[in-house]
Amino acid sequence: DAKTTQPPSMDCAEGRAANLPCNHSTISGNEYVYWYRQIHSQGPQYIIHGLKNNETNEMASLIITEDRKSSTLILPHATLRDTAVYYCIVTIMEYGNKLVFGAGTILRVKS
């Protein structure tokens, strides 16, 4: 029952920005957008999250549209080590909540 839609795969040239889209048209007002990635069967790695404002940290930037129905994760200078499955998750992340993972986007960074 994932509430997000992501493209199954994307390619990106090394050194270029990787822009990963996510649609979450049924997001409710108190739900956050979270991004995780999983590199080759390792544990999912937290990247960034946001509610309605754009967010940036040392790993990535998150751009959320004004209507909050979609968002884009931006990796500013992709490297080969960024090749992974990227998951966009919307969640209240409150008491007793769980993360619902969809299929995610396989990002392949190529030299």
Binding-site ranges for another protein (CB under 8 A): 30, 32, 34, 36, 38, 41-46, 49, 51, 87, 92-103
Which residue number, 14 or 44, has a Cβ lying nearer to another protein?
Answer: 44
User: Tokens representing 45?
Assistant: 């790695």
- Residues 98, 30, 44, 108, CA torsion sign: positive
Continuous segment of H or E residues that includes residue 37 = strand 32-38
What's phi and psi for 80, nearest 5 deg? -60, -30
Shortest distance in whole angstroms from residue 70 CB to another protein: 20
Supply the minimum distance, in Å, between the C-beta of residue 78 and another protein: 22
Q: Measured from the CB of residue 51, what is the shortest distance to another protein in angstroms?
A: 8
